[in-house]
Structure 1
């Protein structure tokens, strides 16, 4: 079969382009290349475009028979398995709104999250039954459906006769509600239109240069925008094959890539650091990767690329905003997260929303320049939507710098930045200094109450396997590389860091724990 290479998009597509909806791009792919391998689930099954289109139509028929229609929400608590994808796209075909939930949610946390989207049914699987114990009373879904044999739940199977999609679904209709990571509190639901989701997928192609010859590998959870919209949907748009692994395995990651013939992949959160801390093996270079998106990049990008034999790239993106910044495919700018993506305007502002100049630290604000390229606000939360959309710009809360050539550089989360001795301290810059120590595998820097109402710099560190970390020696190690006010006062050596399912550190949890017993206190750092 001849594979058709599709050009990398350099501008947002017009909303009136044929089939510019999630189910529409699948229908177009199935009509153009029905026998093309579309997606393969490791350990489960694979689909050609025609087979996936048929399975989605069958699932849509089942959902419609159970009363799901235009505008209805369907919550998904399902892992990386084929039924997640077919149910997600079936909702699209019906004009319904899929709400993927973090599969790590359980008990009261799951109940509080689901309550935001009720009334709606919940689609889940037997392996996640222990998570459901608190879904009672006002947190109970209207129905419990399972993609496999779960006692007490109705089995959700595709019907033999597929359903035709609703004819009046538009690109600007809400297609899904995606949850924020919840690192600072209860996850909020962000409304994404079909156009928003497909713009994100197009921007991913603008960064990664996907073609029909690629094999896109992802082991990230499908409820997250990375796996869903930088892997699965771009594969349908470009003709690339997508391979979905059940989860990230630090010891099998490189062999998994080699086995499936992956040419591109994404790493998020601690993945890069966890792979770096492993002892080198021949498997880590026995792959076909031509590019990897790594967020965040390790402190020594050059050594990371040299050791694993793969060029890296990065972007700025979030569930709240989409992907307004990225490094265009074929370009490199070490340390930068990129330039404004097609369809977006970005700027940096101070506390009064006044623009800052090149080299100055400012909060990133963004807004779409193409219709419906941006997200549609927070579900049932107009107050927070209005708060972040001050002066017609979305305020990200993230601190960046811009150089004279228009490249942007991520510095820190606004909420994670610290104020010490009248100076701003970037937690990211302190973490990079800590990670340069040969015995440190992971580091998270956060603020604790300090003198005079300011912050005291605290750091939680995880040693490399078989190593130990001496807090006093570690502080002495980083002192020459940091301003005196940024040197950590408190050091907490831990076995692991609390993380979300997408491997982001829960710094709010570290701050809430405060001064733990045994945390080393080196006293305030003084100007030498």
Structure 2
């Protein structure tokens, strides 16, 4: 394993791996392996192509595509030349996508044929976008407002052999996180933070070059990017699939002899719900990284699949991981892990005082050294300052310490919904739903899901004289909202409860939950 110091930019590991083991497989996409030398060649070609299009140090490029080789090339290639890649959630479209393209200040978008229509729909409202590059080599349609080219044409060229990379204390990438009281915010991650986070996660997985990591999480998330940096640090090849498949996942693990994988809780629940197979206990997996672990199933999951451990973590894009479990740890079921030694972690009451073990309070943290947490919110000093108090970042989440200083996540203070591993901003969802002509007022809140995490319920007060139906609203949601944010439950009311200053009383809506008047799209087979 290469143990990068905090001062080592991740792209530098591309060179290190190629020099040490040029012919060893490092990544595999769509069953096409890349050796260390091939990865370096492609990353440098991507960097050279971006530079030829005027992308330089500190400039942003948006990556809006599924897990694929070109994603890794664009992400690493941009960082290699000191630019900032901005991966964007594939489910974003319309105003959600337009906001991130404009807010990031990017001039170039890298996408794939499946996502190109969504880009075409919004690029006219994004004056900063000059170039759109599409993965592959095929014919391309016309695109008004920006130059259109293939990545095969863009990712070519040569860099000077001694490329000057960004420093460890400079920004490395920007990841947008869903807002709870406003629009999504760009979280700026330094090269130092990326290298430190990657090292901590690899240490928790206890990886060696003999391991194989299977990755199905989307690469526009921090958790999906682990497939790239785990390989660069540990030398263990990563097999990265485009998407998660319940029916194919274990066969893929067997095919490649994968010894570790990471999932979100609902994915593991879906796999657990499959009929038992005599081969389950013979899976090559040593561990599964997952959060949250389906309630009460820790030991049963380990026994059924022959695992050494379930590796749990807690954190967010701004600070990850705050709590972590190592493969060799033997911690009580239900805990997220112990505090990451990179951070000083506290759990406090509303006055900022430490709560006693066993008592719930807000999880807050501060870095023990520079550049191991996020640098701030992109171009938003006010929101950055508001996230910290007396040097501590306030997560907005409640948790508790036990007597052994293990950390458990309790709930979210923020009005965020967590569904299928995605954070959903009720604010953004409500703003989008208000665009329907039949909607006078709307409130969105969480309802507990039988798969763990949350389902989404929308409560609508219709415009006078309008009579929107659940089916009509569902068609609108499917056209305008990210797939993971499409509400499961719809209820129409005469008036949404509010306090005297006009704020929605969401606690009352949550207390009501699913009523006899609530329409359930899953019950309707939708």
Q: TM-score range by the shorter chain?
A: 0.7 to 0.9
C-alpha separation in 2, matches of 1:226 and 1:463: 20
Whether 2:114 is the aligned partner of 1:108: answer no
Aligned to 2:204: 207
Partner of 2:277: 281
Are 2:6 and 2:196, in contact at CA under 8 Å, matched by a contact in 1?
no
CA shift digits 1:466-522 (9 cap, x unpaired): xxxxxxxxxxxxxxxxxxxxxxxxxxxxx9x99x98979989999799699983389
Among residues 21, 45, 54, which one is paired with 1:58 in the alignment?
Answer: 45
State yes or no: 1:246 paired with 2:242.
Answer: yes
Aligned residues of 1:145 and 1:154 also touching (Cα < 8 A)? yes
Which ranges in structure 1 are unaligned for 5 or more consecutive residues? 1-5, 418-426, 432-443, 447-456, 465-494, 523-528
Q: Does 1:39 align with 2:39?
A: no
Give yes or no for the alignment of 1:70 onto 2:57.
Answer: yes
**How is 1:3-22 mapped onto 2 (pairs within 5 angstroms)?**
6=1, 14-16=5-7, 20-22=8-10
Shift of 1:196: 0.5
- Indicate conservation of the 8 Å contact 1:78/1:103, yes or no: yes
1:332 to 1:502, Cα distance in 2 relative to 1, 3 A: farther
The 5 Å alignment of 1:347-358 reads 347-358=346-357
SS at match of 2:304: helix
CA distance in 2, matches of 1:379, 1:313: 31
Per the alignment, do residues 406 and 238 of structure 1 end up closer, same or farther by CA in structure 2, a change over 3 Å counting? same
Matched, 1:325 2:323: yes
Residue number in structure 2 paired with 1:156: 151
Higher mean C-alpha displacement, 344-353 vs 506-515 = 506-515
Name the counterpart of 1:226.
223
Q: 1:124 to 1:512 in 2, by over 3 A?
A: farther
Of 259, 272, 275, which residue of structure 1 is paired with 2:268?
A: 272
Change (3 A) 1:271 1:458: closer
Counterpart in the other structure of 2:314: 316
Shift of 1:164: 4.0
Asked if structure 1 preserves the Cα contact closer than 8 Å seen for 2:62 and 2:106, the reply is no
For 1:503 and 1:296, locate their aligned partners in 2 and report how far apart those are by CA, in whole Å.
17
Tell me if the contact between 1:224 and 1:502 (Cα under 8 Å) persists in the aligned partners. Answer: no
1:269–1:503 CA contact under 8 A, matched in 2: no
2:266 and 2:451 in contact (8 A); partners too: no
What pairs with 1:96-495 in structure 2 (closer than 5 Å)?
A: 96-132=83-119, 133-138=121-126, 141-148=129-136, 149=138, 150-152=140-142, 153-157=148-152, 158-164=155-161, 166-167=163-164, 169-181=166-178, 186-228=183-225, 230-300=226-296, 301-310=298-307, 311-333=309-331, 334-415=333-414, 459-461=447-449
**Inter-CA distance 246–509: structure 2 relative to 1 (3 Å threshold):** farther
Alignment partners' CA distance in 1, 2:315 and 2:134: 32
Question: TM-score w.r.t. structure 1 length?
Answer: 0.76
Counterparts in 2 of 1:368 and 1:509: CA distance versus 1, 3 Å:
farther
Residue 440 of structure 2 corresponds to none
Quote the Cα distance in structure 1 between the aligned partners of 2:20 and 2:487: 45
Q: For this pair of structures, how many residues does the alignment match?
A: 443
Matched position secondary structure for 1:270: helix
Q: Distance in 1 between matches of 2:104 and 2:408?
A: 36
- Distance in 1 between residues matched to 2:15 and 2:484, nearest whole Å: 34
Q: What is the SS of the residue equivalent to 1:70? A: coil
Is the Cα–Cα contact under 8 Å of residues 260 and 287 in structure 2 kept in the other structure?
A: yes
TM-aligned CA deviation for residue 210 of structure 1 = 0.9
The alpha-carbon deviation at position 331 of structure 1 amounts to: 0.8
Tell me what 2:438 maps to. Answer: none
Distance in structure 2 (CA, Å) of the matches to 1:266 and 1:273: 13
- Give the equivalent residue in structure 1 for 2:71: 84
Q: Which moved more, 1:271-280 or 1:136-145?
A: 136-145
1:151 deviation in Å? 2.1
How far apart in 1 are the matches of 2:319 and 2:355?
A: 21
Q: State the superposition RMSD in angstroms.
A: 3.5
Output one character per residue of 1:339-368: Cα deviation in whole Å (capped at 9) or x when no partner.
122321101111121221211111111111
Q: Give the 3-state SS of the residue equivalent to 1:175 in structure 2.
A: strand
- Any conservation in 2 of the 1:192–1:376 contact (CA below 8 Å)? yes
Give the secondary structure class of the aligned counterpart of 1:415. Answer: coil
Partners of 1:458 and 1:341 in 2: how far apart? 29
**CA–CA distance in structure 1, aligned partners of residues 196 and 276 of structure 2:** 38
Confirm or deny: 8 A CA contact 1:75 1:99 kept in the other structure. Answer: yes
Q: Distance in 1 between matches of 2:57 and 2:446?
A: 49
Give the 3-state SS of the residue equivalent to 2:89 in structure 1.
Answer: coil
1:405-446 alpha-carbon deviations (Å, 9 max, x no partner): 2111111111269xxxxxxxxx99xx9xxxxxxxxxxxx9x9
Structure 2: distance between partners of 1:339 and 1:246? 32
Say whether the 8 Å CA contact 1:126–1:146 is kept in structure 2: yes
Shift of 1:298: 0.8
Partner of 1:483: none
Show CA shifts across 1:82-121 (max 9, x none).
0000111111111000000111112222112222112421
CA contact (8 A) 2:27 2:239 kept: yes
Distance of 2:182 and 2:208 partners within structure 1:
39
User: For residues 308 and 14 of structure 1, do their structure 2 counterparts lie closer, same or farther at Cα, with a shift above 3 Å needed?
Assistant: closer
Measured in 2, the distance between the counterparts of 1:387 and 1:48 equals 45
2:115, 2:281 → 1: CA distance?
35
* Closer, same or farther: CA 285–15 of 1 in aligned 2, 3 Å: closer
Instruction: State how far apart, in whole Å, the 1-side matches of 2:289 and 2:220 are.
Output: 18
